[in-house]
Amino acid sequence: MNFMSVSADAESNFTIGAEQNGEGRARNALLDRVMAPNWRKKSSNALRRGYMPSRGLALVARNEFGSLIGTIRLWDVASENGKHGLLLGPLAVDDASKSSGVGSALMKAAISKATELGHGAILLVGDAAYYERFGFSAGLTQQLSMPGPYEQDRFLGLELKKDALAGAAGVLVPTGRKLIANQHKNKLVG
Ligand SMILES: CC(C)(COP(=O)(O)OP(=O)(O)OC[C@H]1O[C@@H](n2cnc3c(N)ncnc32)[C@H](O)[C@@H]1OP(=O)(O)O)[C@@H](O)C(=O)NCCC(=O)NCCS
């Protein structure tokens, strides 16, 4: 993905682009700052640990100085009965840049890129009050479940192709490319 400039308002300038090799450390530091302390133990992480993000679907936001201020990743998953999709998360924006449109820009860029790459659906566990504005709904995940504890009304889906989640049922499983040993060492996880 080429970098695109996004200006949410006159006071905030940022760009959205592909996460680069070597940005893992800054990303992990951001996640440690803004996420709940137990985020690595969540059910979503069981579908990410040991895998690489879906090709082309690790994006970051940078401020005008090039510092990383936001991150989003999507992961290849499938339902137990073989319907393929993407799991979104984590999405996080640095406290100093919140409510400036960075999160929305990351979401829109990720949805657009996933559509361009031919994916059919995106799933996530998060606040419906935030994600509904991008078209996510809990109605699409009623027959699906996460591998571990989660709240069903926070388990949301978005179809990028018509009826992509129709008939999808059962527990999600990871289907992405596996991390190799040295990538583990660089903590390119979560
Ligand atoms: C959620 C998050 C990514 C939003 O990023 P952001 O850059 O502030 O988002 P935007 O600027 O696009 O949108 C901000 C709007 O979303 C609202 N919003 C933020 N988090 C929300 C939530 N959990 N539920 C409902 N609305 C939320 C804000 O109140 C704000 O509303 P306003 O525009 O009426 O003022 C960011 O707050 C964050 O990193 N939170 C901590 C990590 C996290 O919880 N991530 C998962 C979200 S379930």
Pocket of ligand 1 (CB under 6 A): 34-35, 91-93, 98-104, 126-127, 129-130
Task: Kindly report, residue by residue over 76-109, the tens digit of the pLDDT.
Answer: 999 999 999 999 999 999 999 999 999 999 999 9
The predicted structure's pLDDT at residue 61: 98
Best CA proximity match to 115, nearest among 52, 50, 162, 169: 162
Residue 190 within any structural domain of the chain: no
Give the chain's domain count. 1
Report pTM: 0.93
| Cα–ligand 1 centroid distance for 179 (angstroms) | 30
Residue 98 within any structural domain of the chain: yes
Best mutation site among 40, 43, 72, 99 for ligand 1, i.e. most ligand atoms within 8 A of its Cβ? 99
Nearest residue by C-alpha to atom 46 in ligand 1: 91
| Cα–ligand 1 centroid distance for 138 (angstroms) | 18
| Cα–ligand 1 centroid distance for 103 (angstroms) | 7
Residue 88 within any structural domain of the chain: yes
Q: State which residues of the chain have pLDDT below 70.
A: 1-11, 181-190
The predicted structure's pLDDT at residue 10: 47
Measured between alpha carbons, how far is 152 from 157 in angstroms, rounded to an integer?
11
Residue 124's CATH number? 3.40.630.30
The domain in which residue 181 lies consists of 4-185
Best CA proximity match to 110, nearest among 156, 178, 154, 56: 56
Residue 71 within any structural domain of the chain: yes
Helix (H) or strand (E) holding 113: helix 102-116
Residue pair 171/147 in contact by the 8 Å Cβ criterion: yes
Q: Quick one: tokens of 85?
A: 């999709």
